[in-house]
Structure 1
Amino acid sequence: MNVLITGGAGFIGSNLARFLLQQGVDEVRILDDLSTGSSENLNNLKVNFTEGSILNFDSLKDVTEGVDSVVHLAAIPSVPRSIVNPRASHEANTTGTLNVLEAAREVGVGHVIVASSSSVYGSNPKMPKSEFDWTRPMSPYAVSKQATEGYALAYQYSYGLKALAFRFFNVYGPGQAANHAYAAVIPKFLDAAMNGRPAQVQGDGEQSRDFTYVETVCAVIHQAVLNQTSSPDPVNLAYGTNTTLLALLDDIEAELGFRVSREHTVPRAGDVRASQADNRRVRELFPSVEPLGLKDGLAMTVEWFRSVAEKAQQA
């Protein structure tokens, strides 16, 4: 089996590439323009890497030719980044997705997985959030992700392309960068704590998230690729946890073994207050995948951060 991962040099993509190779996938191709990913994430991985953009349709078609499945992860991530530059998010996330689907259709690839986001639920207060609940995006990023899943499912109805739109929640784990302005909350908290800085908590810290360990995400996607799974509706890729940022800091303190100081800042525009997945659909479709709990996932993530710090000190 041959698989193309767009955005495969990023955090989730590189973890997925490693996981697929470990599971015996014949060829993993990666297309990434390295705007947010890094070629260092692919060190020691036997992948077929092409540096390029999903906005370049000709090169996208070339790298898509001959694969069995496309896992489309390439995007400009982050709610605040989209608020600063909504046009860039639209072009990469919406037009880019259309290009991926058109390339798959033109070269005859029959299965495409796309990455949507829990952010599409937006201002809907219902908890946990089911795929059949109404959505109301609160940021340009969320709108672009709703378009991503909408295009994929429309191609399934219109052209018979097998499509699966996963709504990612808060994915975390080894390899997630902390050294940029739009870093996710777990690497940001860990980086601050391990370098003696206060963890910056936006707002009161009572906003909640459904944290999902990256290897759990990879295991689900691997099963979806293996079985060519499709769905007429989006599927939450999360397992129904509900952890506030303050509780997350408590868990991080327990894992690190020391107190982490906190500094509260203004709330972030476009942020969802509470997020928790209804996990019935993902469990129905992928019953063999058992998610890793937050405590164990944090332990493995902290171990990775410590190993990176040790290597930096030795360099």
Structure 2
Amino acid sequence: MIDNENTTILITGGAGFIGSNLCEYFIGKNYKVVCLDNFATGHRHNLSAFIDHKNFTLIEGDIRNLEDCKKAVDGASYVLHQSALGSVPRSINDPITSNDVNVSGFLNMLVAARDAKVKRFVYAASSSTYGDSKGLPKVEDVIGKPLSPYAITKYVNELYANIFSSSYGLETIGLRYFNVFGRKQDPNGAYAAVIPKFVMQLMNNESPVINGDGNFSRDFTYIDNVIQMNERAMTTQNPEAVNTVYNTAYGDRNTLNDLVGYLKEYLSDYDAKIANIEVVYGPNRAGDIPHSLASIDKAKELLGYDPQFSIKEGLKEAVGWYWENLKN
């Protein structure tokens, strides 16, 4: 068993969407939490609820700087590595920066974690690793060729983690996130994720723009399911459960048309006009896979993963948060 009060967790990218939710959760569990972030995509307001908490430490730094990584990991028992430059389109527009952050930065963190003798390194992997594989649902040991620079970087993370496990004995677990959504996810910017972007457009009585005909499908995964997976991965005592990767998802899929329909339904409880907003359809997006659905059998078997939030339950929670916090 872990002694929470005397255990330090380093959460890289802790000011981001997933990272800040992890920070808040583990502070609530009486862990000491260190956040490393350079605020390139994270936000200080994501830390406001716990910035002054006695168990929270913020280190402003960049994973591309090895010394920053070493400083952040000093004294940590566990690393939850969330830092990355996400977004397929961003990586297509600027592959060099995506590689610098997602590969070189990742390697820096592995080296720092190895040298600090952390107990376990849990990292954000990606469903983009499945690339052009056609089979559904996606199972962890069957992948295709990557379809974007971003996907390449996330696959390289898995390869490096595997080498650090076999060569240096560093325990690693990769979590292949599938379209995570929920509170604190940024709706602004050119590379905003689809759910917060659609929510903001609908709240502003604007038509959401769907890339393609809306029949592409995704395994949309609520943030609380992802928090559970990180906790299970960090705390598992099952020796067969480490040094591998897991799908982190709900295990169901919905089309983008389904998604907009749910959002309009739930948001119309706050503003009845939203129910009648029309959808606009645009061209398909480069690098997008048509369909994504995860098998979560491996996580259930080895980690005891038990996701509590379906897309509908998660969207109801998320819509309420966005309406309360971001409605003008």
Into which bin does the TM-score normalised by the smaller protein fall? Answer: over 0.9
Once residues 280 and 158 of structure 2 are traced to their aligned partners in structure 1, the CA distance between those partners, rounded to angstroms, is 36
The 8 Å contact of residues 172 and 244 in structure 2, kept in 1 or not, is answered as: no
AA in 2 matched with 1:4? L
Distance 1:308 1:169, change over 3 A: same
Q: 2:111 aligns with which of 91, 97, 102?
A: 102
After superposition, residues 1-315 of structure 1 pair within 5 angstroms as 1-25=7-31, 27-45=32-50, 46=53, 47-227=56-236, 230-257=241-268, 258-287=275-304, 289-310=306-327, 313=328
The 8 Å contact of residues 119 and 137 in structure 1, kept in 2 or not, is answered as: yes
SS at match of 1:113: strand
Between 247-256 and 265-274, the greater mean CA deviation after superposition: 247-256
SS at match of 2:324: helix
AA in 2 matched with 1:11? F
Q: Deviations over 1:269-293 (max 9, x none)?
A: 0011100001101111332633311
Q: Deviations over 1:196-233 (max 9, x none)?
A: 11100001111110011001101221222233665333
Q: Deviations over 1:162-218 (max 9, x none)?
A: 000110010000111111110111111111111011100001111110011001101
Between 181-190 and 233-242, the greater mean CA deviation after superposition: 233-242
AA in 1 matched with 2:143? W
Once residues 259 and 144 of structure 1 are traced to their aligned partners in structure 2, the CA distance between those partners, rounded to angstroms, is 41
Percent of paired sites with the same residue: 38
Once residues 23 and 107 of structure 1 are traced to their aligned partners in structure 2, the CA distance between those partners, rounded to angstroms, is 24
The 8 Å contact of residues 14 and 37 in structure 2, kept in 1 or not, is answered as: yes
The 8 Å contact of residues 84 and 102 in structure 2, kept in 1 or not, is answered as: yes
Once residues 315 and 244 of structure 2 are traced to their aligned partners in structure 1, the CA distance between those partners, rounded to angstroms, is 31
Once residues 203 and 57 of structure 2 are traced to their aligned partners in structure 1, the CA distance between those partners, rounded to angstroms, is 35
Distance 1:268 1:220, change over 3 A: same
Once residues 293 and 260 of structure 1 are traced to their aligned partners in structure 2, the CA distance between those partners, rounded to angstroms, is 25
AA in 1 matched with 2:316? A
Q: Deviations over 1:86-114 (max 9, x none)?
A: 00000100111100000011121131011
SS at match of 2:244: coil
The 8 Å contact of residues 228 and 305 in structure 2, kept in 1 or not, is answered as: no
1:10 positional shift: 0.1
Once residues 286 and 303 of structure 1 are traced to their aligned partners in structure 2, the CA distance between those partners, rounded to angstroms, is 31
The 8 Å contact of residues 236 and 303 in structure 2, kept in 1 or not, is answered as: no
- How many residues are paired up? 310
AA in 1 matched with 2:258? A
AA in 2 matched with 1:150? L
